[in-house]
Amino acid sequence: MEFPMRVPSAQLQKFIVTAISFKITLASKWLLNFLDWS
């Protein structure tokens, strides 16, 4: 009997990638605003 370990790990990877890209997007927006102000 083997458990389908790939499904949760794939969902976790997708979640991690989404979170990282979201953080990068926020950081780049903040950086652009910061450079725009100075």
Which pLDDT score is estimated for 30?
95
Residues 29 and 18: their CA atoms lie apart, in Å, by 16
Which pLDDT score is estimated for 29?
96
**What would the two tokens of residue 5 be?**
């370990």
Which pLDDT score is estimated for 7?
63
**Distances 20 to 2, 5, 31, 33, 34 between C-alpha atoms, Å:** 31, 23, 16, 20, 21
Predicted TM-score of the model (pTM): 0.58
Q: What is the pLDDT of residues 4-29, one digit of tens each?
A: 666 678 888 999 999 999 999 999 99
Residues 16 and 35: their CA atoms lie apart, in Å, by 28
With bands split at pLDDT 50, 70 and 90, how would you rate the model's confidence at 1? low
Helix/strand number for the chain, H first, E second: 1, 0
